[in-house]
Amino acid sequence: MHARINDDHGLRQQAEFARSLGFFGKSAIHPRQLPAIHDVFTPSPEELAWAEGVLAAFRAAGGQAVKLADGEFVDLPVADRAQRLLELAVQLPVPAGAADPRASDVRALVGAPRTSKSE
């Protein structure tokens, strides 16, 4: 929680620090703080691609630890983090009029139900 409602810079710094520690969200005391918090905690396309690759490799290895082509070591905690990131992405709203071509793929990876008839 960041008590200074008009301190967007301080809020963003706190949120970025929290995310660097592995947190997936932050409390707000005022609605004007939500855009900065959402901006910091919304997974980027690169993070989603990383998570998809990690889960695909982990599953292909039968749930055993595996070394990716780039040298990253993936074990259960890393796969769990990738899973949580994809689950978060599925829960985020898609802006009106925006296409979400990856939603079906991400839901298939995490086993989430489809949320609309258009998918």
Q: Known catalytic residues?
A: 75
Q: Give the N- to C-terminal CA distance of the chain in Å, as an integer.
A: 36
CB 40 within 8 A of CB 68: no
Q: Where are the beta strands (DSSP E) in 1-116?
A: 66-67, 73-74
Whether residue 103 contacts residue 94, with contact meaning beta carbons closer than 8 Å, is answered with: yes
User: Using CA of residue 75, residue 83, residue 19, residue 69, what is the dihedral sign?
Assistant: positive
